[in-house]
Amino acid sequence: MKNEMAKWWDDGKFGLFIHWGLYSLLGGEYKGRKTDNIAEWIMHDLDIAPEEYRQLASSFNPTVFDAEAIVRLAKQAGMKYVVLTSKHHEGFALYDSQASSYTSVQATPYGKDVVAQLQKACEKYGLVFGLYYSQAQDWDDPNACRDGFSEEGRDFSSYLTKKCIPQITELLTGYGPIGLLWLDTPMYMTYEQSRTLHTLIKKLQPNCLISGRIGHGLGDYMTTGDNFIPALPYPRPFEVPATINSTWGYNRSDTGWKSASKILRSLVKVVSRGGNYLLNIGPRGDGSVPEQSISVLKEVGLFMEKNGESIYGTRALPLYPYDIGWGYFTSKKGKLYIHVFEDKTEAYLLNIANKPLRCYRLSDGLPLTLKERTTCEGDSSWLIKLPPREAGVIDEVICVEIEGDDVVFEPIKG
């Protein structure tokens, strides 16, 4: 990543995504029909006409929304940045835009700027503030892109110049430093159109990162498919956007909540391969966060409080020659962290070339015994005796301080 100011992103590793909009009022159901897709796509999937969908704005009055409480939750979970959907594909903006009256300020009883509230909360609690903006798809605008429809009969350049560019300009000039602009689904935007947005963003805020979904390889990092983790260490910075259940926007019928253990495994796997993990919550229409999301994030936070060193500031590891189902590695200069997800009495590892200098449990510094030997096949091996696991621990992290800066895995000799 060329931007030196992006150290916060390289080191932070863990962020909070917030999907919130008019779709949150519906919770995956409209006039007795349920969507079988992700909830924030309900306007598209149930083919609700823009003039009909716009009427939802009169019901948007999230009196229990608490920006500070959400940012505190992110901080408690060990997250380092927050990304809010300032305008999703539905076309409704959660800030005071002069380019469109279809906003939380002008079109709703709420009459407040959500972006401003989150920005102030992030500043107060020391988290980097980022914004999602749907640059190509806008189902409320007849000239913008729409999945499943060709560009025939549409004047995309009109939408780009009259709404998209003015709104991005507003976001980057009215809310202080924006750490990240999370663009999404470039659809049939040309290279020149994507380049125009890139130039605008870097002109207004040179240190603002741009997600890979700007298109045409112009992003500051690669953005994976939703909930997709690269199988191998990836050669450039990347981010995995992920859900706590099965959807992004709130869906009252979606009860497929992931456990804190599963979330942590994914986080460690992503980090070990060199990426960041952007985990989403979908507040309800009234602004409240589902209790299951809160519970999971707090449990993850308990781990991060004691073991965050094994996540923050780590780097991608080389490919380990064995598939160990009970754990993963993370590393930083002179240290190898062994994440043990299963309750075991020992960790036996082969083909680590580094000389171990010191071994201990990361959460409390408890010294552990590590025995080195060479196997009959000629491979190096470590045997680490593990202490009894305390109740409720879902990831025990062992830190091995090593000789040399970088972890080196040997090929299998046998």
Unique residue bearing structure tokens 């260490």: 233
Confidence grade of residue 1 (pLDDT, cut at 50, 70, 90)? low
pLDDT, tens digit, 9 for 90 and up, residues 152-206: 889 999 999 999 999 999 999 999 999 999 999 999 999 999 999 999 999 999 9
322 in any annotated domain: no
pLDDT given for residue 153 in this prediction: 83
Pairs from 92-100 (Cβ < 8 Å, separation ≥ 24): 92/21, 92/22, 92/57, 92/140, 93/167, 94/20, 94/21, 95/170, 95/171, 95/174, 95/175, 97/166, 97/167, 97/170, 98/166, 98/170, 99/162, 99/163, 99/166, 99/167, 99/170, 100/163, 100/167
pLDDT given for residue 397 in this prediction: 98
User: Inter-axis angle of helices 260-272 and 291-307, to 10 degrees?
Assistant: 50
pLDDT given for residue 37 in this prediction: 95
Q: Both 99 and 247 in a single domain?
A: yes
Q: Average pLDDT for residues 251-265, to the nearest whole number?
A: 97
Q: What is the CATH number of the domain that holds 195?
A: 3.20.20.80
77 in any annotated domain: yes
pLDDT, tens digit, 9 for 90 and up, residues 386-395: 999 999 999 9
pLDDT, tens digit, 9 for 90 and up, residues 274-292: 999 999 999 999 999 999 9
53 in any annotated domain: yes
Q: Both 247 and 335 in a single domain?
A: no
pTM as predicted: 0.96
Q: In sequence order, which residues have a C-beta less than 8 Å from that of residue 247 and are 6 or more positions away?
A: 28, 38, 39, 40, 254, 282
pLDDT, tens digit, 9 for 90 and up, residues 130-146: 999 999 999 999 999 99
Distance CA 276, CA 134 (A): 21
Contact 211, 219 (CB under 8 A): yes
Q: Both 128 and 201 in a single domain?
A: yes
Q: What is the CATH number of the domain that holds 378?
A: 2.60.40.1180
127 in any annotated domain: yes
Distance CA 128, CA 161 (A): 29
pLDDT over 80 at 119, yes or no: yes
Q: Both 375 and 248 in a single domain?
A: no
Q: Which amino acid, one-letter code, is at 388?
A: P
Domain that holds residue 122: 4-310
Pairs from 42-51 (Cβ < 8 Å, separation ≥ 24): 42/249, 43/89, 43/90, 43/139, 44/89, 44/139, 44/146, 44/147, 44/148, 50/91, 50/139, 50/140, 50/142
pLDDT given for residue 414 in this prediction: 66
* Number of separate domains in the chain: 2
Confidence grade of residue 413 (pLDDT, cut at 50, 70, 90)? confident
pLDDT, tens digit, 9 for 90 and up, residues 352-391: 999 999 999 999 999 999 999 999 888 999 999 999 999 9
pLDDT given for residue 6 in this prediction: 87
Looking at 310, 345, 370, which one is the last position of a domain?
310
Q: Both 192 and 334 in a single domain?
A: no
